Structures are given as structure tokens and as C-alpha cells.
């Protein structure tokens, strides 16, 4: 999950929507993967918005509201070192999410699979990138 702290809350320079707040920073309270999502609304100027989503279950719920006019344009998987087998966090383009033996399996655009032990195992596709050819 992401956490906020009152001392990081920014004063608004513009009129905020009801319930909307701005933060100088947030904290990620777990050592688990999260997602940086770009969402687009077609035909609306300035329609690209970015969202930080704390886990795959919330991400799939967000993606379930996709339509031809309002949809997820891209997802970046932000993976911790234990998942990506390196010494640092990495942000990589996500191509698909599958459910394999009750676990989330992330297939990346570069061909990698996280967690690697799920690579090649059969599973059901839960989300797949629409791939608008603009990569």
C-alpha cells in the first residue's frame, strides 16, 4: 500500500476537486511490486493521467472499467529486487498478467516473466496490453 503523511501535504495552488489532495511524496509500505499506470481518455485534451496502483488485484479492478474511449494505455511493473533478481528496484513495460496456480504472473514486453518460476506454466490471462503500435 501507499501511505501519506500530513507533513508532505502541499497547499493547493489551484482549485482541487472535492476530496482531492496534493502530496510532495508518498511512502510505499511493503517490499512488493506495484504498478505505474497511464490511462487515456480519447478526444479529450490533456487526457493522459498517471496512477500508482499498489497491487495486481486493484490494477485488475481498475482495468475492468476500460472502454473504447477510456482505457489503460500502458502499465509499468515496478518490481523489487527479490522479484527481478537484481540488486535494485526496476520499472519495466508490462505486456500481460496471467493467473498461474492462484498466483499473479507478469509477462514483460522484453520477454521476461516474474516470478521466473512461473515462466512457461499454463495460466489464464487476466489482462493483456492493447498494443497500439506506438511503442
Q: How far apart are CA 119 and CA 121, in angstroms?
A: 6
Give the total number of structural domains in the chain: 1
SS3 37: strand
The answer to the question of residue 107 being in a domain is yes
The answer to the question of residue 135 being in a domain is no
The answer to the question of residue 133 being in a domain is no
The answer to the question of residue 37 being in a domain is yes
Q: How far apart are CA 77 and CA 68, in angstroms?
A: 23
Instruction: Write out residues in the chain with pLDDT < 50, as ranges.
Output: 133, 135
DSSP-derived secondary structure letter, 85: T
Report pLDDT for 135. 46
Q: What share of the chain is helix, strand, coil (3-state, %, to 5)?
A: 15, 40, 45
pTM of the shown model: 0.87
Report pLDDT for 10. 87
Largest Cα–Cα distance in the chain? Answer: 51
Q: Which domain holds residue 43?
A: 2-9+21-128
Report pLDDT for 15. 61
Q: How crowded is the C-beta side of 34, counted as CA atoms within 13 Å? A: 13
First to last CA, the chain: 29
The answer to the question of residue 95 being in a domain is yes
Report pLDDT for 25. 87
The answer to the question of residue 134 being in a domain is no
The answer to the question of residue 15 being in a domain is no
The answer to the question of residue 65 being in a domain is yes
Q: How far apart are CA 98 and CA 115, in angstroms?
A: 11
pLDDT in tens, 58-74: 999 999 988 888 999 99
Amino acid at each position: 500500500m501507499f501511505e501519506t503523511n500530513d507533513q508532505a501535504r502541499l497547499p493547493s495552488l489551484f482549485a482541487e476537486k472535492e476530496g482531492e489532495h496534493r502530496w510532495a511524496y508518498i511512502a510505499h509500505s511493503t517490499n512488493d511490486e506495484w504498478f505505474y499506470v497511464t490511462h487515456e481518455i480519447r478526444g479529450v485534451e490533456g487526457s493522459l493521467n498517471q496512477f500508482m496502483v499498489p497491487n495486481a488485484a486493484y490494477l485488475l479492478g481498475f482495468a475492468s472499467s476500460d472502454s473504447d474511449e477510456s482505457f489503460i494505455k500502458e502499465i509499468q511493473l515496478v518490481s523489487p529486487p527479490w522479484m527481478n533478481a537484481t540488486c535494485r528496484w526496476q520499472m519495466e513495460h508490462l505486456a500481460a498478467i496471467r493467473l498461474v496456480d492462484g498466483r499473479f504472473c507478469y509477462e514483460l514486453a522484453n520477454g521476461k516473466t516474474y516470478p521466473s518460476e512461473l515462466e512457461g506454466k499454463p495460466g489464464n490471462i487476466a489482462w493483456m496490453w492493447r498494443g497500439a503500435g506506438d511503442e
